[in-house]
Structure 1
Amino acid sequence: MPVSEQPIVERVARVLAGAAHSSNAEGSDPSAGGKVDLVWKEHVNQALAVLHTMREPDESMAAVGDAETWSRMVEKAIETAE
């Protein structure tokens, strides 16, 4: 399984920044990569809110994996970012 070198909070913040600025989502910039590089840190609080919501797996997730491990992993991501 691949492991990212980029923290999950940064990856989520970049997705949120891309959604806000890219014309492929809600934004108007047809090439938003540079803008995302500049503004992703402005979306860290939103990314943390997403991770706080994800701390508890839903039933279908828990059915195929260890819910406690999932929760610990997400908690660690939050702790590392704060």
Structure 2
Amino acid sequence: MPVSNLDVVERIARVIAGRVLSANAEGEDCSASAEVDATWRDYRDDAIAILKTLREPDPAMAQAGDLATWQRMIEAALSEAGADAS
């Protein structure tokens, strides 16, 4: 499995920024990459909120894998982001 060089909070924040800015999603910019690069940090709190929500997997996710490993992975991402884990 490939491993990203970017932390998950940045990756999620960039996706949110892209959806807001890009004409390919909900935005108006036909070439939004520079704007995403400049503004993704504005979406960090949203990304952290998403990760906090993912701490509790749904039934299909729980059936697919090890819950303790999942929780450790999400907590590691939150810790790396400097987010309060509560």
Identity of aligned pairs, percent?
A: 51
Q: TM-score, normalised by structure 1?
A: 0.96
- Of Structure 1 and Structure 2, the greater helix share is in 1
- Count of aligned pairs between the two proteins: 82
* Equivalent in the alignment of 1:54: 54
Displacement of 1:64 after TM fit?
A: 1.3
Displacement of 1:67 after TM fit?
A: 1.0
5+ residue gaps in structure 2? Answer: none
Once residues 72 and 58 of structure 1 are traced to their aligned partners in structure 2, the CA distance between those partners, rounded to angstroms, is 16
* Equivalent in the alignment of 2:41: 41
Once residues 47 and 64 of structure 1 are traced to their aligned partners in structure 2, the CA distance between those partners, rounded to angstroms, is 24
Matches within 5 A, 1:59-74: 59-74=59-74
Displacement of 1:26 after TM fit?
A: 1.0
Q: Which amino acid aligns with 1:59?
A: P
Deviation >2 Å, runs of 4+: none
SS at match of 1:57: coil
Q: CA RMSD in A?
A: 0.6
5+ residue gaps in structure 1? Answer: none
- Per-residue CA deviations over 1:50-69 (Å, capped at 9, x if unaligned) read 00000111110111100111
Q: Which amino acid aligns with 2:74?
A: V
